[in-house]
Amino acid sequence: MTLDPLFGRASAGRSGLLLYQLPTLAALALALVTLPLSGALSDTTMVVSGVLVVVAISVAAVVLPWKTYDDRLAVLIPIVSLVGLGLVRYGTGGVGSPYSATLFVPFVWIALAAGRGNAILAALTLVATSQGPALLLTDFRQSADVVRVLFSPVVYGLVALVINEIARRLRLQLDDARATVAQRDSLLVDAVRASQEARSNETRANAVSRQLSGLWDAVTEQAIIGTDLTGRIDSWNPGACKMLGVAQHEALEAGLVITDVHVADELREQVATVGDATPLDDEAAFAVLVRDVATGSADVREWTYVRPDGSQLPVQVAATQRIGDDDDVVGYLFVATDMTKAREFERLKDEFVGMISHELRTPLSSILGYLELLRDEEDGPLTPEQTQYLDVAERNAQRLLRLVGDLLFTAQVEAGRFPIINQSTELESVLRAAAQTFEPVAAAASVQMRVVMDETVSTVVRGDATRLGQAVDNLLSNAVKFSPAGGLVTLSLVVHDQRATITVRDTGIGIPDAELDQLSTRFFRASTATSASVPGIGLGLAITKAIVVAHRGRLDVTSEVGIGTAFTVDLPTVDE
**Do residues 111 and 53 touch, judged by C-beta distance below 8 A?**
no
Closest C-alpha among 106, 110, 120 to residue 54: 106
Better-scored residue on pLDDT, 572 or 532: 572
Determine the pLDDT at residue 355.
Answer: 62
The per-residue pLDDT for 344 is 73
> If you average pLDDT over every residue of the chain, what do you get?
77
Q: Could you give the percent of the chain with pLDDT greater than 70? A: 73
> Across-strand partners of 460?
426
According to DSSP, residue 446 is labeled T
For residue 261, give the nearest of 272, 275, 250 by alpha carbon: 250
User: Residue 569's pLDDT is what?
Assistant: 92
* pLDDT band at residue 415 under the 50/70/90 scheme: low
10 Å CB burial of residue 407 (0-12, 13-18, 19+) is: buried
Q: According to the model, what pLDDT value does residue 505 have? A: 92
Among 175-184, 211-220, 544-553, which range has the highest average pLDDT? 544-553
Please give the pLDDT value at position 10: 37
Band (503; pLDDT cuts 50, 70, 90): very high
Q: What is the pLDDT of residue 387?
A: 76
Are 222-338 and 423-572 in the same CATH fold? no
Residue 515: per-residue pLDDT: 77
In this model, does residue 466 exceed pLDDT 50? yes
Q: At what angle do helices 190-218 and 143-186 cross, to 10 degrees?
A: 150
Nearest Cα residue to 52 out of 16, 85, 18, 26: 85
Determine the topology of domain 423-572 in CATH. Answer: Heat Shock Protein 90 (3.30.565)
The residues pairing with 462 across neighbouring beta strands, listed in sequence order, are 424
pLDDT at 529: 62
pLDDT class of 504 with cuts at 50, 70, 90: very high
Indicate if the pLDDT at residue 229 is higher than 80: yes
Residue 440 in this model has a pLDDT that exceeds 90: no
Strands 233-236 and 299-306: unpaired
Percentage of the chain exceeding pLDDT 90: 4
**Average of pLDDT values for 116-141?**
67
pLDDT for 280 equals: 60
Model confidence pLDDT, tens digit, residues 23-62: 888 888 888 888 888 788 888 888 898 889 888 888 888 8
556 CB contacts (<8 Å, ≥6 apart)? 567, 568, 570
pLDDT of residue 194 exceeding 90, the answer is no
Residue 279's pLDDT band (cuts 50, 70, 90):
low
Query: What is the C-alpha separation between 540 and 557, in angstroms, rounded?
Result: 14
pLDDT in tens, 144-162: 555 555 566 667 677 777 7
Q: Per-residue confidence at 489, pLDDT binned at 50, 70, 90?
A: very high
pLDDT reading at 9 higher than 50: no
In this prediction, residue 530 carries a pLDDT of: 61
Residue 502 has a pLDDT of: 92
Mean per-residue pLDDT for 99-117?
80
Mean pLDDT score, 453-460: 82
Q: Which CATH class is domain 222-338?
A: alpha beta
> What residues does each domain of the chain span?
14-178, 187-218, 222-338, 349-414, 423-572
Q: Is residue 106 scored above 90 in pLDDT?
A: no
